[in-house]
Amino acid sequence: MSDTVIILGVIAVYLVFVLFIGAVAGRGRNNSAEEYITASRSLGFICMYFLMGGAIFSAFAYLGGPGWAYAKGAPAFYILGYCALGLVPWLVWGPKAQEAGRKFGYVTQAQLFSDRFQSRALSIIIALVSTLAFIQYVSVQMKGSAYVFEVASNGTIPFWAGALIAYVVVLIYVFFGGVRGVAWTNVFQGAFMIITAWVLGLYFCYSLYGGPTEMFTQIIAAKPTHLLIGPGTKMSFAAYSSAVLVSVLGFTMWPHLFMKAYSADSKRTLRRTIVLYPTFAVMLIPVLLIGFAGIMQVTPEVLGAPDRILPWMFSNMDFHPMAIGLVLAAALAAAMSTQDTITHAAGSIFAQDFIAVIVGRPASDAEATKWIRIFVVAFGLVSYLVTIFGGHTLVALLLGAYGSIVQLLPLAFATFFWPRATTMGALVGLVVGVCYNYSIVFGIVPKLWDINPGLQGLALNFACLIVVSYMTKPQDKEHVLKFTEL
């Protein structure tokens, strides 16, 4: 039996097991939108911890992180900074969102904001902004999955087929299991990834260099600027700092994370998840070590895309094919653990916040769930096409998506803490912020001082929210107090 067959066999067993876990998770549950989207608001700490953790341990971290460490060096440490701090803002409004969801029956982020500002247009805009950003985010995961299959099969499974396999597996268990399927699979995949990352990261450092100290010493000698940030390096101070800041501010505004506040069984569970969540950032350290370890082992010309460094390291060194299969399965788990939660959220948001607002709410919960599942399939298909025909590295794709999602931050602030904010102020601020961010991304407007476009758009967003709110009539005081006094 060839090594390739053994490697693919291990990955196939893993996929079947994950598919089984996810598909049976929703069996015996009621067929309501609340169950499908929020698991009837019943998830405990373990499920919440790994469900949220799957957003970090994605293809972005497991493949994109090493890719950045290999290609850019010290700038990759921005990942540790924002992952450690990403949920800190949620301590402020996470419990409030959880209480609002339970009290008023919200299942999506846009339902909360559109109700607060009494605006159907706001719901539609948020749905569109979220969906566009989600496509970029899921494209990150599909690209990662495709790289895994491509390397595991020595090129026998082409890029397009690898991405398709992962898409189909995730689609099946999200379609049938809903958020419970996502949560159950993430518990298994999260534990698998953490163990694998630490074993592999330390193994490469010690087997190839004798330890992390000697590894970094050799890198400095060969590439003096690779472990630096600033003038003359791969990333300026402004670009690095603003990348950390936009990621921290935008992290909890991702709808698939924000909506998980509705899934927690209590505020206590949510607070425990927030406090312990930074431990997932610690798990990213060995993943970055793998990328640094590869710098002295393969040239960029031979490697091709930097995001391939992790699978290349294992497939081009003297490892038993069973071990290689397990490692590549862990990389696949990283991609799928985020792809599933985003695909689930995207289908839910588009059905609930866009279609239902335009054509009217479905007549029954069963019909609502049916439409969510339809859009889960459609969203996955669009993301797959973007993956196959799009470009950019995994980290670049994700940073681009953060720039638009962080524009939802002023809405959260205004919803819970600023009674004077008005509907028109919220709408103008969001539209201006999103449009300005994309105008920089597409080269229509120049980037100022190398600052992340999302932060520039966010500054305009807040300014418009404040100015326009003071220029327009305040909302009904009794209505606003329902949110500011939670």
Q: Cβ distance 166 to 142 under 8 Å?
A: yes
The sign of the torsion formed by the CA atoms of 323, 324, 326, 327 equals positive
Please state, in angstroms and rounded to a whole number, the distance separating the CA atoms of residues 150 and 170.
18
Mean per-residue pLDDT, 92-121: 92
Nearest to residue 425, comparing CAs of 118, 111, 93, 100? Answer: 118
Tokens of 454: 């999302």
- Region of 449 (left: φ > 0; alpha: ψ -120 to 50; beta: rest) is left
**What is the pLDDT at residue 107?**
87
Of 204-218, 350-364, 382-396, the poorest mean pLDDT is in: 382-396
- Of 32-41, 81-90, 91-100, 163-172, which has the strongest mean pLDDT? 91-100
- Among 349, 392, 22, CA closest to 188: 22
Backbone angles phi, psi at 156, to 5 degrees: -65, -40
| pLDDT tops 60 at residue 485 | yes
Which residues, other chains included, contact 112 with Cβ-Cβ below 8 Å and sequence gap of 6+? 97, 100, 101, 104, 106, 415
pLDDT at 293 over 80: yes
pTM, entire model:
0.81
The pLDDT confidence band at residue 242, using thresholds 50, 70 and 90, is confident
pLDDT at residue 327 tops 80: no
Cα 72 from Cα 396, distance rounded (Å):
12
For residues 74 and 123, what is the distance between their CA atoms, to the nearest angstrom? 40
pLDDT recorded at residue 394: 46
- Token pair for 83: 């992952």
Average pLDDT over residues 452-473: 93
Residues 6+ apart with CB under 8 A from 177: 22, 23, 24, 25, 26, 184, 185
Mean pLDDT value across the chain: 83
Domains (range + CATH), the chain: 3-393 (1.20.1730.10)
pLDDT band, residue 220 (cuts 50/70/90)? very high
Nearest one of 130, 51, 132 to 340, comparing CA atoms: 51
pLDDT for the residue 28: 63
Express each pLDDT in 136-164 by its tens digit. 778 777 877 887 788 778 788 888 888 88
**57: confidence class by pLDDT, cuts 50, 70, 90:** low
Quote the pLDDT of residue 396: 52
First vs last C-alpha separation in the chain: 63
Mean pLDDT on 10-34: 77
**pLDDT value of residue 64:** 75
pLDDT at 59: 59
Q: Per-residue pLDDT averaged across 49-59, rounded?
A: 69
pLDDT band at 68 (very low <50, low <70, confident <90, very high): confident
